[in-house]
Amino acid sequence: MSDEPIKVLLIEDNPDHAQLIQELLAKERSKQFDLACAARLSTGLKLLAKRSIDVVLLDLSLPDGQRLDTFIRVRDHAPQLPIIVLTSLDDKMLAVKAVQQGAQDYLVKGSIDSNLLGRALLYAIARKQLEEALKQSEERYRTLFQYSGTAMVIAEDDMTISLVNKEFEQLTGYSKNQLEGKMTIPDFLAEKDKQKIIGYYKALQKGKKIPPSYTAKIKRKDNQIRTIFASVGLIPRTKNSIASLTDITEQERTERELKKKSNEIRNYARQMKMAYQALERAYLDMIHALVISVETRDPYTRGHSERVTQYSKEIAAKMGWNDKELNNLELACRIHDVGKIGVSDRILLKNDTLTISEWAEMKMHPVKGAEMLTFSEYFKPVIPIVRHHHERWNGKGYPDGLKGKNIPPGARILAVADTFDAMSSARPYRDAIDYKKIVVELKKNAGTHFDPEIVEIWLEIMEKYGISIL
Ligand SMILES: [Fe+2]
């Protein structure tokens, strides 16, 4: 409190009493008081409006104001001011009522000394300041509560709702009047989550820990079910709880729809994959049908592709190829002569030596075969093997004259297996060639016609089959 004199307004119609108060205040040395007096309530109220006053001393019995009404009129006129009521000994009950209505204190006329008066005035001012500070703080928290932007609810220890904000009214569909003091927290919980949330509230009251936040379903006044994200805690030094609730129904719906969409996309991708696999199978079936049709046209080559496939795989397996490489090689071997579908029967089935132009047409079958396979990604790894299966190690093969290791390994393997099967099978114009002669032929052409390492591997395999290579 500053050193300024305390400005006291005395509203008292009895001049003797006013005189006494003035004298008592003058005697009080601990603090300086500046006294203004009014003998009527109306004059007192005018003075209050005009002057700066720190505290009011109020007689409750005035010519123009009677009993409690006198106090109420002054209080309402200057709600921020501390008021001490003055009463006679036989009317103490009235003074108590005034204190209950907001007076800071009361003094009984005739029992006042300067010390008591001075102390009562100072305490009244201090108490009022404290009350105002508390009121302001409550006001601040109430404002925060009301304008938090989130639905908030305060409940008593029996879960009766005592305070809600605007957002809570919107969330539940109930008005403040329907909620406060009339409904309980479980009243707006959906059946599914009722027991869980009641459990949390009971645990809170017992001082037990509960999850810092949780989701729950609530049932609005219009019976609509909403999903909320909530957190609840006890208000310090009370049994009251405060909860904040956020409506996450739309967010939840969006997440659900996203999940559904991503499932649909996954299903679509699965269907696409299945369709693609079916298409690949169809391509493969078609190519096999073409291979069979080529072999059917020339009975002497029937089963040729099957045998070449078996021999080539044995060579590649011995060279350490992996499953994927072996599968590609198998496919390439089965279809390597598919391009012969484009060679006319006159040339394909001719028993006699081919003319230069006929031979040129025959030599086109690896190119035609490779071209036939370009319409599907599935055949991409086997195209080089099909195209180059008639290349020679020394670069004198066809169609591109590739040399040595520039020839794809699969094509080099296939060239050896293909030649072996052709020589060991009967032709319309000759019998099957003797194995020994074939071995001599293969050895002779290793390093010119064939990859010498592959010939060597094949000769080892022939031995395994009991075919002497000596
Ligand atoms: Fe061929």
To the nearest whole number, what is the mean pLDDT of the chain?
Answer: 90
Does residue 456 register a pLDDT over 90? yes
Residue 385 Cα, ligand 1 centroid: separation in angstroms? 11
Instruction: Tell me which residue of 313, 292, 314 sits closest to 303, measured CA to CA.
Output: 292
Contact 12, 39 (CB under 8 A): yes
51, 85, 210, 392, 428 from 56: Cα distances, Å: 12, 8, 51, 123, 137
* Average of per-residue pLDDT across 20-35: 87
7, 83, 272 from 71: Cα distances, Å: 19, 8, 88
Residue 35 Cα, ligand 1 centroid: separation in angstroms? 128
Instruction: Tell me which residue of 42, 46, 33 sits closest to 5, measured CA to CA.
Output: 33
Exposed e or buried b per residue across 436-469, where buried means at least 16 C-beta atoms within 10 angstroms of its C-beta: eebbeebeebbeebbbeebbebbbebbeeeeeeb
Residue 340 Cα, ligand 1 centroid: separation in angstroms? 8
As a whole number of angstroms, the distance between CA 461 and CA 367 comes to 30
As a whole number of angstroms, the distance between CA 112 and CA 121 comes to 12
- For residue range 170-208, what is the model confidence (pLDDT) as tens digits? 999 999 999 999 999 999 999 989 999 999 999 999 989
Residue 336 Cα, ligand 1 centroid: separation in angstroms? 6
Residue 294 Cα, ligand 1 centroid: separation in angstroms? 11
Residue 414 Cα, ligand 1 centroid: separation in angstroms? 9
Does residue 71 register a pLDDT over 90? yes
Tell me the pTM. Answer: 0.49
Residue 169 Cα, ligand 1 centroid: separation in angstroms? 85
- For residue range 210-228, what is the model confidence (pLDDT) as tens digits? 998 999 999 999 999 999 9
- For residue range 100-123, what is the model confidence (pLDDT) as tens digits? 999 999 998 888 888 889 999 999
162, 165, 198, 461 from 159: Cα distances, Å: 9, 16, 9, 89
Residue 341 Cα, ligand 1 centroid: separation in angstroms? 11
Does residue 159 register a pLDDT over 90? yes
Does residue 449 register a pLDDT over 70? yes
Instruction: Tell me which residue of 70, 130, 52 sits closest to 106, measured CA to CA.
Output: 70
- pLDDT of 39 reads 92
Does residue 469 register a pLDDT over 60? no
Residue 389 Cα, ligand 1 centroid: separation in angstroms? 7
Residue 307 Cα, ligand 1 centroid: separation in angstroms? 14
Contact 5, 33 (CB under 8 A): yes
Token readout for 154 is 């305060």
Residue 281 Cα, ligand 1 centroid: separation in angstroms? 24
- pLDDT of 58 reads 95
Instruction: Tell me which residue of 27, 2, 30, 17 sits closest to 59, measured CA to CA.
Output: 17
- pLDDT of 1 reads 53
Confidence grade of residue 11 (pLDDT, cut at 50, 70, 90): very high
Token readout for 413 is 């393997």
Beta bridge partners of residue 214, listed in sequence order: 230
Residue 344 Cα, ligand 1 centroid: separation in angstroms? 15
Residue 465 Cα, ligand 1 centroid: separation in angstroms? 25
* Average of per-residue pLDDT across 127-135: 88
Start-to-end C-alpha separation, the chain: 125
* DSSP letters spanning 346-386: HHHT--SPPPHHHHHHHTTHHHHHHHHGGG-GGGGGGHHHH
Label the pairing between strands 33-38 and 61-62: unpaired
As a whole number of angstroms, the distance between CA 397 and CA 390 comes to 6
- pLDDT of 99 reads 93
Does residue 299 register a pLDDT over 80? no
Residue 415 Cα, ligand 1 centroid: separation in angstroms? 8
- For residue range 346-359, what is the model confidence (pLDDT) as tens digits? 888 887 888 999 99
Instruction: Tell me which residue of 240, 112, 219, 102 sits closest to 172, measured CA to CA.
Output: 219
Residue 366 Cα, ligand 1 centroid: separation in angstroms? 6
- pLDDT of 312 reads 96
Exposed e or buried b per residue across 79-90, where buried means at least 16 C-beta atoms within 10 angstroms of its C-beta: eebbbbbbbeee
Residue 303 Cα, ligand 1 centroid: separation in angstroms? 14
- pLDDT of 237 reads 82
Answer whether the bond into residue 399 is a cis peptide, omega within 30°.
yes
- pLDDT of 470 reads 47
Range with the poorest average pLDDT among 280-289, 379-388, 456-465: 280-289
Confidence grade of residue 385 (pLDDT, cut at 50, 70, 90): very high
* Average of per-residue pLDDT across 417-436: 85
Instruction: Tell me which residue of 224, 230, 170 sits closest to 200, measured CA to CA.
Output: 230
Residue 386 Cα, ligand 1 centroid: separation in angstroms? 8
Residue 167 Cα, ligand 1 centroid: separation in angstroms? 83
Residue 373 Cα, ligand 1 centroid: separation in angstroms? 15
Does residue 93 register a pLDDT over 50? yes
Confidence grade of residue 467 (pLDDT, cut at 50, 70, 90): low
Does residue 239 register a pLDDT over 50? yes
Does residue 300 register a pLDDT over 70? no
Percent of the chain with pLDDT over 90: 60
The 3-state DSSP class for residue 427 equals strand
- Give the Cβ contact number of residue 59 at 10 Å: 23
Does residue 269 register a pLDDT over 70? yes
Does residue 251 register a pLDDT over 80? yes
Q: For residue 123, count CB atoms less than 10 angstroms from its CB and return exposed for 0-12, middle for 13-18, buried for 19 or more.
A: middle
As a whole number of angstroms, the distance between CA 193 and CA 300 comes to 81
Residue 365 Cα, ligand 1 centroid: separation in angstroms? 7
- For residue range 51-67, what is the model confidence (pLDDT) as tens digits? 999 999 999 888 898 88
Range with the poorest average pLDDT among 177-186, 267-276, 280-289: 280-289
- pLDDT of 77 reads 92
Does residue 88 register a pLDDT over 50? yes
As a whole number of angstroms, the distance between CA 92 and CA 62 comes to 17
* Average of per-residue pLDDT across 432-457: 93
What domains can be seen in the chain, in order of their start residue?
A: 6-144 (3.40.50.2300), 148-247 (3.30.450.20), 271-464 (1.10.3210.10)
Tell me, what DSSP letter sits at residue 450? B
Residue 469 Cα, ligand 1 centroid: separation in angstroms? 25
Confidence grade of residue 76 (pLDDT, cut at 50, 70, 90): very high
Contact 323, 348 (CB under 8 A): no
Residue 331 Cα, ligand 1 centroid: separation in angstroms? 14
Ramachandran category for residue 395: left, alpha or beta (phi over 0 → left; psi -120 to 50 → alpha): left
Among 8-12, 27-31, 377-381, the range of highest mean pLDDT: 8-12
Residue 143 Cα, ligand 1 centroid: separation in angstroms? 91
Tell me, what DSSP letter sits at residue 375? G
Range with the poorest average pLDDT among 54-58, 293-297, 318-322: 293-297
Residue 350 Cα, ligand 1 centroid: separation in angstroms? 16
